[in-house]
Homo-oligomer: A and B are copies of this chain.
Amino acid sequence: MAKKRNLSEHIKHIGQVPGTLIYTGKKSDKDFHIECFDYTKDRIEESILLNIDDALNYKDTESVTWINIDGLKHTDKIEDIGRLYNIHPLVLEDIVNTSQRPKIDEYEDYLFVVLKMLYYDTNEKLIVEQVSFVLGKNYVLTFQESEGDVFGTIRERLRLCKGRIRGLKSDYLLYALIDAIVDNYFSIIETLGNKIEDLETELFAGNARENINVEVQQLKREILRIRRAIFPLREIINRIEKNENKLIYKRTITYYRDIYDHLIQVSDNIDIYREMIWSLMDMYMTTISNRMNEVMKVLTIIATIFIPLTFIAGIYGMNFEHMPELHYKYSYYILWGLMIILFVAMLFYFKRKKWL
């Protein structure tokens, strides 16, 4: 379980000098990978860097530089980047510690934002990947746990100079990147919604009892994980929008407000799905219990009708020598009549009492 792993990793930290970089993500042997875009309104350069020092010449120009790092395992290379861009060791520690909560930290020269990218893997399992952003005056650094992201359209817009993106500064690039992640949340919660509706359909079809119980628990936990990834983000965007920060231009604030609105929509949807799951569970429990009651009642009624009848039959099964009824010619037929009357009367009584 992802949760536990992070804890175990944290324990390695105990007693370490603060600022020691310890990667706590998946131990995959993915290559370290630096992707670099440098652009102004007029030109764009795209390159795959082998070494962060190759980005040195972009550093003090006016052009905007976006450096995207995939793979956080090579902590020494992360340290190199930190040294180049003059990033505080604690920030670097947070970048490679993938159990961070979404947060924003403001430093003198840069802004540090951590958030979570969500996607479902091939087994329909929810993956939470940490993405860290460092926004400087003319650069944005992004750190991802592994390759593959939701920034494809941003790259496209950069290359093709679609929309405003090339004409604006690094703060707009940060906005565009965060927006891409938040937009992706919508597809996540749609998948979630589909799962809940499938469950609902299945439930009313009356299948797989104990299973549904387990699945509902899993969905609850999934929602919990999504909430934890998304909810702190609202506060972060709110802070960007409200606080004055010399790195975010006034012009871009409106765009951040738009992200905020989207986050509120996502949050609302999550809360609705949460309530849906709860009331689903409720309905399920009520249905189960009603059906059970129905069964028990009908069965009990059958038993109850036949027990007195069996008693009567038992009476005339006794072997007493002196039982006058036994010898009377029509006794047997009279008894059948009595029993049928009793049977019908009881049915009628139960019917009238609405027990049947």
Chain A interface (Cβ < 8 Å from any Cβ of B): 1, 3-4, 7-8, 10-11, 13-19, 88, 90, 93-94, 99-101, 103, 105, 150, 152-154, 156-157, 162-165, 176, 179-180, 183-184, 186-187, 189-190, 193-194, 197, 206, 209-210, 213-214, 217, 220-221, 224, 228, 254-255, 257-258, 261, 264-265, 268-269, 272, 275-276, 279, 282-283, 285-288, 290-293, 295-297, 299-304, 306-311, 313-323, 325-327, 329-332, 335, 353-355
* Contact present for B179 and A18 (CB under 8 Å): yes
CA distance A316 to B310 in the complex (A): 11
* Contact present for B11 and A152 (CB under 8 Å): no
Query: What's the least CB distance linking A285 to chain B, in Å?
Result: 7
Which chain B residues lie closer than 8 Å to A315 at the CB level? 313
* Contact present for A292 and B297 (CB under 8 Å): yes
Listed by A's residue number, 7 A-B pairs whose Cβ atoms lie within 8 Å are: A15-B152, A18-B164, A90-B254, A217-B283, A295-B300, A296-B296, A306-B308
Contact of A316 among B308, B318, B327 (CB under 8 A): B318
Which chain B residues lie closer than 8 Å to A14 at the CB level? 150, 153, 180, 183-184, 186-187
Query: What's the least CB distance linking A271 to chain B, in Å?
Result: 9
Q: Given the known A-B contacts A186-B11, A254-B90, A319-B318, are A307 and B306 also in contact in the complex, defined by CB atoms under 8 Å?
A: yes
Query: What's the least CB distance linking A139 to chain B, in Å?
Result: 21
How many copies of the polypeptide does the oligomer hold?
5
* Contact present for B314 and A17 (CB under 8 Å): no
Contact of A314 among B100, B286, B314, B325 (CB under 8 A): B314
* Contact present for B314 and A310 (CB under 8 Å): yes
* Contact present for A332 and B323 (CB under 8 Å): yes
Query: What's the least CB distance linking A317 to chain B, in Å?
Result: 4
* Contact present for A100 and B261 (CB under 8 Å): yes
* Contact present for B313 and A322 (CB under 8 Å): no
Contact of A307 among B156, B265, B302, B323 (CB under 8 A): B302
Q: Given the known A-B contacts A217-B279, A317-B319, A322-B331, are A265 and B101 also in contact in the complex, defined by CB atoms under 8 Å?
A: yes
Which chain B residues lie closer than 8 Å to A261 at the CB level? 94, 100-101, 103
Which chain B residues lie closer than 8 Å to A220 at the CB level? 279
* Contact present for B321 and A326 (CB under 8 Å): yes
* Contact present for B320 and A318 (CB under 8 Å): no
